[in-house]
Amino acid sequence: MQLDSLLLQQTSLSGSSQSPRSPSTQPFLSVSVTDPAKLGNGVQSYISYRVITRTNLPEYQGPEKIVIRRYSDFIWLHDRLFEKYKGIFIPPLPEKNAVEKFRFSAEFIEMRRQALDIFVNRIALHPQLQQSEDLKTFLQVDEETMERARSQETGIFKKKPADFMQIFKDVQSKVSDAVLGKEKPVEESNPEYEKLKNYIFELEEDLAEAQKHAFRLVKRHKELGQSLSDFGKAIKLLGACEGNSLGKAFSELGSKSEMLSIKLQKEAHNLLMKFAEPLKDYVRAVQSIKATMAERATAFKHQYELAETIKLKEINLDKLMLIRSDKVGEAEIEYRELKVEGEEATKKYEMIVQLMNEEIVRFQEQKTWDVGVAFHELAKGQAQLANEIADAWRSLLPKLEACSSAQT
């Protein structure tokens, strides 16, 4: 992919939460998720978002469309895409469940809004996913249609537990294979792919750790802010015991502390939104790759097993042909059908492999960019904060000087 187009994509991505791209001659599709609003009561309550689409793509109904969507609609879109675009790293969604206490906290809602915005824009910018009918549906249909579509998809949701069972069985058979000394489970033994797998797994681990520290850093900022505020108050009170100019100096130190406390809280929020959350998004992206890898493994296994069966069938067919059995015709039909199926499976698998190879490049480039932006935000925020701290304290110095010269 060209860096230029990547740049364009990325910038529109990061800018989309503020304002959609202005129309240009190039084809564009830009979405913003805005105005979270709490609907319903009690356990039934949920947050709905206004999803605004601006585009010049002819497949779309018009230049601007606004729909109301809720979190489960986004899940619907995600799952549909995951089903249909095997091999593509579907952009990750923010986590479903938060602690109940924070579910409707302003911070959580804003974090989720931002994550959903990024999610849908990533799809809109993805060369293949962009073409998806499901995206069009998601962005354009009215709320009732959307709800119907969503409830129909329960079929897919129902399929999920089966998948889990499959995974469980796989694990079980792997274990028993290992125990019984049977042949190795069917897996790709391509060393390059092995390396990629290891990379992804370790990356997830390392990123998770970094992300954990990032969130802790946010917390630390808040705590320091709180401490500064308390400290400021205590210092002010202590200053009140002093009276005179020294008391004033104390009181000003206290005020500055309280002022800086606010700055720290602000920076904590900034850090959360622009550094910690993107890092978490990175982790999610890696997890989405893992999901794709699971699909690839399934596809590989499928085509491998089919190939094995075909081989058996072929031998069987040869045998039948040798003894001129009357079952030859039937077997031949079965063999041909299987062959077609096997070819399809192989094609599907190869498609996944090819897509993944493309996607990995995309992923790496995109993450370099995302992380770069996050790093920049971190550095900028920290620099600004530190400067503000320095400025605030520095402004006290002349007063303290005056105070100490008045003393002598």
Partner 1 sequence: MMGFENQGFEEAHLFSSRQEIQSLVLDEPLDGKSFSDYRSAMSSISEAHHPLSPPIVGIEVDDDPLLSPSSYMDRRNPNVSENSYLEPPSYADVVFSPFGNENGEANGFENSTHDSVKSEIISRSASSSSGYIKIAVSNPVKEQEISNSLVPGGNTYVTYLITTRTNIPEFGGSEYSVRRRFKDVVTLADRLSESYRGFFIPPRPDKNVVESQVMHKQEFVEQRRVALEKYLTRLAAHPVIKKSEELKVFLQVQGKLPLPTTTDVASRMLDGAVKLPKQLFGEPATVVAPHEVVQPAKGGRDLLRIFKELKQSVANDWGGSKPPVVEEDKEFLEKKEKLQVFEQQLSNASQQAESLVKAQQDIGETMGQLGLAFIKLTKFETEEAMYNSQRIRAADMKRVATAAVKASRFYRESNAQTVKYLDTLHEYLGLMLAVHSAFSDRSSALLTVQTLLSELSSLQSRAEKLEVASSKIFGGDRSRIRKIEELKETIRVTEDAKSCAVREYERIKDTLHEYLGLMLAVHSAFSDRSSALLTVQTLLSELSSLQSRAEKLEVASSKIFGGDRSRIRKIEELKETIRVTEDAKSCAVREYERIKENNRNELERLERERRHDFLSMLKGFVINQVGYAEKIANEWANVAEETSGYTKESS
Subset of residues 204 to 243 that bind partner 1, contact rule: CB under 8 A? 206-207, 209-210, 213-214, 216-217, 219-221, 223-224, 226-228, 230-231, 233-235, 237-238, 240-242
Rounded to an integer, what is the distance from CA 243 to the centroid of its chain?
Answer: 56
Q: Tell me phi and psi for residue 49, to 5 degrees.
A: -125, 150
| Binders of partner 1 in range 352-371 (CB under 8 A) | 360-361, 364-365, 367-369, 371
Closest CB 13 distance from partner 1, rounded Å:
9
Task: With both helix axes pointing from N to C terminus, report the angle between 106-125 and 133-140 in degrees, rounded to the nearest 10.
Answer: 140
Nearer to partner 1, 141 or 208 (CB): 208
Contacting partner 1 (CB under 8 A), which of 5, 7, 23, 165? 7
d(CA 300, CA 286): 21
Nearest to 302 by CA among 331, 337, 344: 344
Q: How many residues lie near partner 1 (CB under 8 A)?
A: 76
98 is a contact residue toward partner 1 (CB under 8 A): no
| Binders of partner 1 in range 383-402 (CB under 8 A) | 383-387, 389-390, 393-394, 396-398, 400-401
| Binders of partner 1 in range 275-334 (CB under 8 A) | none
Nearer to partner 1, 108 or 393 (CB): 393
d(CA 233, CA 251): 9
- C-alpha distances in angstroms, 186 versus 63, 164, 298? 50, 18, 10
Neighbours of 205 (CB within 10 A): 12
Q: Tell me phi and psi for residue 68, to 5 degrees.
A: -105, 130
Secondary structure (3-state) at 29: strand
Q: Determine the residue type at 123.
A: I
Contacting partner 1 (CB under 8 A), which of 52, 111, 253, 297? 253
Closest CB 98 distance from partner 1, rounded Å:
22
Closest CB 45 distance from partner 1, rounded Å:
34
**Paired tokens of 15:** 């800018």
266 is a contact residue toward partner 1 (CB under 8 A): no
